[in-house]
Each structure stands twice: as C-alpha cells, then as structure tokens.
Amino acid sequence: MFETIDQVVTLLRQQRYICDRKLATVIFLALKMNKPVLIEGPAGVGKTELAKTVARALDRSLIRLQCYEGLDEARALYEWEYGKQLLYTQILREKIGSLFAEMEDLRAAVEYLRQHEDVFFSEHFMVRRPILQAIASPEPVVLLIDEIDRAEEQFEAFLLEVLSDFQVTVPEIGTIVARHPPLVCITGNSTRELSDALKRRCLHLAIGYPDEERELEIIRLKVPELRESLARQMVSLIRRIRAMDLRKAPSISETLDWAQALVLLNAEQLNRELVEETLQLILKYDRDVQQVSAQLPVLLEGANGAARLTFDNMDLREQQERYRTNERAYFSSRREE
C-alpha cells in the first residue's frame, strides 16, 4: 500500500514509469478511498501501462478485461459450463434414474429436481470471467477494464453495481461481495462520451502527451542507449509532427519504438533519408506518411535547430553551475584558512 504521494512517484519510477504529482495523487486517493479510476486520453500515452505498473509496484496480480463491441455480462462476469453439466448428467444417469423411480408423478419429480438444482448450478460449473475473478479473489488485485468506450452503453450500466459496492449478483448463487476491494482502473480513448453515472463513481485522470522534457526523460529511462543529442532531435521532430493535421498522431509508445530502432541502426543524427526509411514506425496511415514526407525538409530544419539551441543552452547552464560550484568551494576553503 502506498503511504504517501511521494512514495507513489518513487515506486512507479522504480518500475520505469515516470509520473507527476497530479497523477500520483489520483492513484494514492483511489487506494485510500476505494474508488475506481477513470483514465482518459489519446491512444498510446501510457494509460494501460499505468495500471500494469501500479500492479507491479503494489505486488498485486493484474486482471484485465479488454472491452470490444458486443461485450456482454457473460464474457465479463461468468458463464456456465453447460457441456460439463451435461457430461455429469450422463455419467450420473443411472443414479438419477434410481432417485426418480420412487416418484409418484411428474409434478413430484419436478419438485424433487428443483430442490437439488443447486448441485448443477454451483461454482464448480462456473467459468469466472475477469470481473468475478477480481471480486472473488482472496488477495487484493488490480482490475483493468481497458478501452471502455469500445463497449456499448448497456455494459456501462452493468458496471455500476461493481463500481459502487464491489459486488456482483449471480441469480443462481446470490450476491458475491469482495473480501478485498480491487483497485479498478478503467481506460478510455475518448472516442465517445461516457455516461455521467459511470463518471460519478470514479476519480478522473486525464493523460495527454507529455511536455518535451518529460518525454526526453521517458526516453532516457526506457532507451538509455540512445545518445542525448539524437534523443533531443527526435523529440523535437515528433512534437512538430504531432502538431500537424494527421489521422493519428505519434504516441509515446511509438516514440519509444522509434528510439529503439535508431539505436539498432547505429544512427548518430537524423537526416531526411533515415527519417523516410523509418517513418512507418511512428505513422500508421499512408496519408499521414505522405503528408509528413512532403513537409520533411522544413520539419527537420526546425527540429534540428531547436535541438541544437536547447543542447547549447544546456551546456551553458552546466558551465554556469560548474563555475558556481567552484566559486563556493574556493570561498569555503578561504574561510577555513
């Protein structure tokens, strides 16, 4: 369990996930208040990775429900193994026949069967799906409900009981209440508006593209082999590409893929030929590739200039800091004399 917000930041960073205090505060409060977290933002900015990282940091199992069009309660909660029930019935056919042999009429047989139907509608014949797995888990877990906006609104209504009381109702068995409320992380790509009822039950966290320095920090952490000057060139170019009117802007995950590719290619700096050869790593649609390729000379010139200016300023700051350090050391030694 996280004890402080600073501890959230530290433990997530140890798991190679960089976050700010805003994000850490939401995760901290979600655990303390037993509230689900609704995480929204563009695809590829680290929403799913955040849930995975929190699970690792807390040493909890991660149970994932991937949403899709047509998802219903059976796929999310539980299903009965009808084949298994039928097999058991066939195996016990002789025993069942002897039990019903003494029944006076059909009505009595049906009544007797009703009294024993829970034998075939027990957890032994139930296939637990992700939500029931999380609710019935004997240990605390993290439940990831991924890309909720891909499912229909009816599925959101089904989730309300789970998110409010951390319990589910199985008609044949009854209500199952969580012994340990799971930490529920719900992600959405903002492709449709989610219901107010769902949002009221959750703490909300919006994750967007990081600023330049944070994106550089992510690259340094995930791809430490990439040289600093090339990383700055790359981030500067990526940010200019994101500002264009594209069908899908490059995400953080695609930035990291590109960085790893540049390391494998032993690249020293970006040039037009290298970028054109690897552009498919960050752009997923032909129209976007053609649009960026047409503007590539201008984009590269601006990116290289900005990267050089930032790098030069960084060198100047380092020189100034080194001068101040030497100055403090000099006056400290004079005072000791």
Which distant-in-sequence residues (6+ apart) come within 8 Å of 307 by Cβ?
Answer: 229, 232, 233, 235, 236
Distances from the Cα of 291 to the Cαs of 235, 240, 299, in angstroms? 19, 13, 11
| 18-22, 82-86, 268-272, 282-286: least confident range | 82-86
What confidence tens digit (pLDDT) does each residue in 239-259 have?
999 999 999 999 999 999 999
Return the CATH number of the domain spanning residue range 5-77+129-206. Answer: 3.40.50.300
In this model, does residue 334 exceed pLDDT 80? no
CA-nearest of 37, 71, 78, 74 to 54 is 37
Interior/surface letters 75-86, b for 16+ CB within 10 angstroms, e for the rest: bbbbeeeeeeee
Q: What is the mean pLDDT of residues 92-115?
A: 62
- Between strands 78-80 and 126-128, the pairing is antiparallel
pLDDT band of residue 92 (cuts 50, 70, 90) is: low
Q: Supply the mean pLDDT for the chain.
A: 83
- Between strands 167-170 and 141-146, the pairing is unpaired
Q: State the residue for tokens 């044949």.
A: 172
DSSP state of 181: -
Share above pLDDT 70 across residues of the chain, in percent, rounded to a whole number: 76
In this model, does residue 81 exceed pLDDT 70? no
In this model, does residue 36 exceed pLDDT 60? yes
pLDDT band of residue 141 (cuts 50, 70, 90) is: very high
Q: What is the pLDDT of residue 233?
A: 92
Share above pLDDT 90 across residues of the chain, in percent, rounded to a whole number: 55
DSSP state of 149: G
What confidence tens digit (pLDDT) does each residue in 291-313 have?
999 999 999 987 777 666 554 44
d(CA 143, CA 77) in angstroms, rounded, equals 13
In this model, does residue 267 exceed pLDDT 50? yes
What confidence tens digit (pLDDT) does each residue in 202-221 have?
999 999 999 999 999 999 99
pLDDT band of residue 265 (cuts 50, 70, 90) is: very high
d(CA 289, CA 279) in angstroms, rounded, equals 7
Q: What is the pLDDT of residue 167?
A: 87
What count of other Cβ atoms lies within 10 Å of the Cβ of residue 142? Answer: 22
Q: What is the pLDDT of residue 147?
A: 95
Contact of 67 with 155, CB cutoff 8 Å = yes
Contact of 166 with 177, CB cutoff 8 Å = yes
* pTM of the complete model: 0.77
Where are the domains positioned within the chain?
5-77+129-206, 81-125, 212-333
